[in-house]
């Protein structure tokens, strides 16, 4: 019979995964405490929370949620970055931090309910953020409208110019 504190911990972990849009598994084996705090701050700025979890309880929670595909990465000292907002920003923060600190290893991630490997996390970090992509889409939609407005404006300017020239000719003639 499971202990009530462990059952509660598994429920908490399931809640972390369920409330997150994505998550990233990392190994922090030789990362000093000061560096871990720096990583937590950079992830918080990127809209993620970094938690060190007990792997046996995390495995149980993920199995309950139907995500047994992460089992191969749930070994050793593992911490999870739970992303609340844009996964690209969190992936960028993790990849940048791991470049500067050898003690942080990105193991895997979960994006839209699918397990992704470390190479896919690195590729995710190369994408533009959600806000930048939305701005590009808005700009793409806006460009034809701006050209159409400019074209319509040129018709009125050209017509005004023609009428002005006709009036000058009539006054001269």
Give the pLDDT score at 155. Answer: 62
The CATH number of the domain covering residues in 4-127: 3.30.70.1730
Cα distances (Å, whole numbers) of residue 86 to 27, 89, 127, 135:
22, 6, 11, 15
- Torsion sign over Cα 18, 19, 20, 25: negative
**What is the chain's length?**
173
User: Domain map of the chain by residue range?
Assistant: 4-127, 128-173
Per the DSSP assignment, residues forming a β-bridge with 70 are none
pTM of the predicted protein model: 0.72
What's the pLDDT tens digit per position in 113-131? 888 998 998 888 887 666 6
pLDDT of 78 higher than 90: no
Give the pLDDT score at 22. Answer: 92
Give the pLDDT score at 170. Answer: 73
């Amino acid at each position: 019979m499971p202990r009530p504190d462990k059952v509660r911990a598994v429920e908490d972990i399931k809640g972390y995964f369920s409330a997150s849009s994505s998550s990233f598994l990392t190994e922090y084996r030789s990362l000093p405490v000061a560096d871990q705090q720096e990583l937590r701050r950079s992830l918080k700025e990127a809209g993620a929370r970094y938690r060190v979890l007990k792997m046996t309880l995390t495995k149980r929670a993920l199995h309950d949620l139907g995500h047994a595909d992460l089992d191969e990465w749930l070994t050793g000292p593992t911490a999870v970055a739970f992303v609340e907002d844009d996964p690209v920003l969190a992936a960028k923060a993790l990849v940048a931090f791991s470049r500067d600190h050898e003690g942080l290893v990105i193991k895997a991630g979960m994006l839209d309910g699918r397990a992704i490997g470390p190479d896919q996390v690195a590729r995710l970090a190369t994408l533009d953020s959600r806000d930048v992509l939305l701005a590009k889409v808005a700009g793409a939609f806006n460009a034809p409208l701006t050209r159409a407005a400019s074209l319509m404006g040129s018709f009125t300017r050209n017509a005004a110019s023609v009428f002005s020239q006709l009036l000058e000719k009539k006054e001269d003639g």
